[in-house]
Every structure is written in structure tokens, then in C-alpha cells.
Structure 1
């Protein structure tokens, strides 16, 4: 990967702009997929406690390390603190579980997955717990301020267990409140980001604070079809949007490449995934052309505020993100 494919965080650490997203990667194939992704050049792997595949992610990474395909310091390994571990005492339990599953001494980025504190569920009771809070169908919460959770996250950095810390799915007001009292400014914000949900004001403000942004579900409804979500099935595929197809033809690239470049050219990090090796390679090579300002404006103009990963609808979704 070239130097232009890296983003420098506000703590001076450089991480790849293009990574491999581990959400929805099946446990059966996960280790091999991670290993193959490393072989073709991926150096950032975006995982989470809630994805239920961190043991397999760790297997793939450690296989590549043992074979000398890559050095540990060349990888950016990412995980996310799940909702049931927001209490400061639970944060340490969570990172120990993550490191144990990944078979690593530290991780590079640890996000707070959502600004929602649910009741703690012991690992031996259910892991990952998802929405389970002790009783099926019953949601319970903990009165834990985000500032307390963040202070515990800062402690992980001070202990050397985590290099960088970030927030995910946070609205602007909560980010502003966090910045007022934090000792370590968040290095990253991860948000749902695609042409149907651009969030331009949030992006502009966050970037002005020196916080890097990772966009997930860049392909919009395509990313959520497996969850059998009605709004995803009803939405026009971004791969078939007339304007996206037209831009792709103009540059002699695929619509997928247009959507990914639309993000990176605006300074965002991205974490696409694919089961096919040729697409893995293609996704790493999206910075080899430039969209025009008109192309970017046209793609952003598809914004209709359509959010697929909305906590207010979680009770309607049979499987979780």
C-alpha cells in the first residue's frame, strides 16, 4: 500500500485508510478470509465483541504472523466495547476477553460501539450477549455516564492494552459533551455512511475537531439485506442508481469502486469486505483514480437520511449488526 493510503490520527499514529470489515464474516470461513486478506495486502481489520468471530479473526492473524507474512506492528487490529460492558469495572473484563480471543497482547483501536449502557452480562452466562440482559425479551440498562466509560477506556491506553480509542454511532451532541471532560480526545468516530445517509454537518464538525472518521456500510442497503430488513429490501440498490452507474461508466470502474472512492477522496476511512479474492484486491485499489467535484456532489445528492442501523428499531430486527 502506498503512503497515500494511510491516515494520521490525532495521537500521531498512522493507520490504513482502507481496511477489512469483519462484521457478518462467518465463523467457519473467517480465519481463512483474514489470512487471505493479509496475503493480498490488508493491514487493518475492523472487528467487534458483538460480531462473535474474534477467535477466528485471531486465528487468521496469528497464522500470518507465524508464517512471517506480516509483522504485528504492521497490522491495525480493531475491536469495539459492547453495550453490556460500559461500567468501568466491565471495561477491563471486556478488553481481557478481546485480547484472549485474538491471542494478542494489545489492540490498535478500541471503540465504544454504541452510546448505550445495558446491564452487565457475565461472559460465562452468554457471549456475545447481543441484546440479552439476563431475561429473554427484557431490556435492562445501567446508569453509567459515558464520561465514566471513557475514563476507563483512557485507562486501557495508559496500561498499553490499546493504542487508540474511539467512539462509534455517536451523535454530535454526545461527542461535544465527551470532549468537554476527556483527558484523551477520541482518535476516531465510526458511523454508518453511504449516499443515502451522508451526515455532512456531523462529518465536517468532527473532522474539524481533529477526529478521523470511519464510514461503515458504504454500499447502503446492500449491507443489510442479509438481516431481512424491509427498508433495505425496498431501497434502490446503490449499485443500480442511475447517477452512480453513469459516473462508473465515465471512469471505466465499477459502481462499488465509485462508492468507496467517494468516501476516501473526502478523507474518510472505509472497511469493506468481500468473500471473493478479486474484489478484495479491487477494494484496496480504489485510490488510483479521482472523482470530479461534480461526481462527488452528485453522489452526495442521493442523501435521503435513510439510516439502516437505528437503535430505535433494534427490537424489530431478528439478528443484530
Structure 2
């Protein structure tokens, strides 16, 4: 069965001034339909639209080993650890979110891809190449990739099962071609606060869409460069969202297995020796729940969530309204964009 792709862009409105009036607090979960007017806040689907979440209680991410000419591998690794830990330490009622995120270290592959038994992926000896949930800097040719534009700071693409809403993978791209980033506390123009950006993107990675709360929320649809701490630290709206998706639970009895459902590999599909790919645990084993669309059967979709600013004295912004334009610009047959 072929894999259909749905692209979502949580895009930015350049030069827009932050709204003075705050909307009612309301986190939104990413969902399989990506209808701009739909905001799911619990586990219940609305029609065929299902909220997204990672299965099991452990996921892993990797970092493309070349990092950036401006940001070292160790710097981005440390920043990502802080960003994901911010979400994992959210104070829920009864504990912290019932999910663990592991840094799996460097990988050679920097491609946004999902290798699955979908009729398109190269299969050798009945095996499918592995995957990595990769974080990669794009120091050059940002605009050469489909779906990229000049206003984007970062782009997170998640792959999911359209029938269940279970996430299969996620890749985060950082636009170091058109923007300069800082890993310190000084985010003066024109440098962008890397921790603020990746903390927001980590929320997308974990299944959250843009919030309808005020600009103090990390998942708010507007990023204000003049006050990056809003994205570095979680608002009560962000906390409510992550705690709803992953309620606190006892994780001490389960082994953390961060391997993607279709196996792990540090190499891109075209470079892999398939025999080196790690197989996922058996269905029902620790770390993953079954069936994940029978672990490769059934249609999957891809969703892109992006922060894309241009600079002004108020800083870059992210605008939910541009999502409709992105959807109309979709070029992939059977695809949906936002």
C-alpha cells in the first residue's frame, strides 16, 4: 500500500506585530487531518481526525554529526537535552509526563525520510532500512528543498499512521543558511535564540500544535525575539497540553527502548547496509505498543510544523493564518499541507 504524505507548515508571518489581546488559553494537539479550525485537546477523535502521540513511553532523537559551521555538535546536543528535558520535567498533577526522550548521539544521515514497507522503500532480503529521528542544520541551500521558504527558522516533520494517530518518526531542520543562532543568553538582533526555537520545535516533535493561548506560551503561534524566555520556559497552557498527551505513570517497571518502529540506522536509506539496521522489539514489548498499523502496513502521513520568522524590532513571528496558503500550495499527489 502506498504511503500518502501530508505536509503541515506552522508558518510565520514576517514583520507582524504581536497581538495585544490574548486569546483564551487553549493548547492544541496535532492531528491526522490538520484542519486549521480544529483544535483537539483530548484523546477523542473528531470524525476521522485523530490526535497524534508517540506510542509507548520512550522515544529517541539523533543529531546529524556535521552540526553547523556556527554551532558545534556538542552545543546543539546540550541545547536539545535542555529543550526536551524542559518538556519531560513539566509539573503534571501526580508527577511528570509519562514519556522518556533519549539523545542517541550523532548520525551520518541528515535526510528527512521514513523507511517503511510502503511499496517505495528499497527492501533487501525482506528487510526495510532503519530510520533516525534526526535534528539537522541546513547551512546551505535552504530554499532548494521543497516546502522551505525564506521566513522559516526551523521545520519539524513528523510521520504518523493516519488510521491511529500514532507517530512513527520526526525530523527537525534548522535554517542556519538564512539565520544566525546563539546558544547564549544574548539573543540581540540579528541572532536567534537557539534554545527558544528548539524548545518550541520539541513541542511539535512530541505532538503539540500551536496554542491559542497568549504569546507567553511556548507553543504560541508567534515567536518574539525580544523575549525568548517565553519559548524557553513552559506556560501553564504548555504544561496542560504535554500532561494530557502523556499522563504521569510509573516508568520504573519498563525498559526504555527508543528504537523507531521500523528499526534504527545512522545512515540514510541509500547508504545503509540493511543487515546493520536494528529491528524494533516484538509487538507488545517494552517501549512500543502494537500494532502501529501492523508495523508497516496501512497509510501513513507526514506533517510539518515550522517556526518561520523574519526579523524586525519586535522579532520574528509565527502566524497560523498562513497555513491555508501552504495547504493550497501542496504539490504532492494525495498530499495535504498546512
TM bracket (short chain): under 0.3
Looking at secondary structure, tell me which structure has more helix per residue. Answer: 1
TM-score (norm 2): 0.24
Bigger relative CO (Cα 8 Å, ≥ 6 apart): 2
TM score, norm. by length of structure 1: 0.24
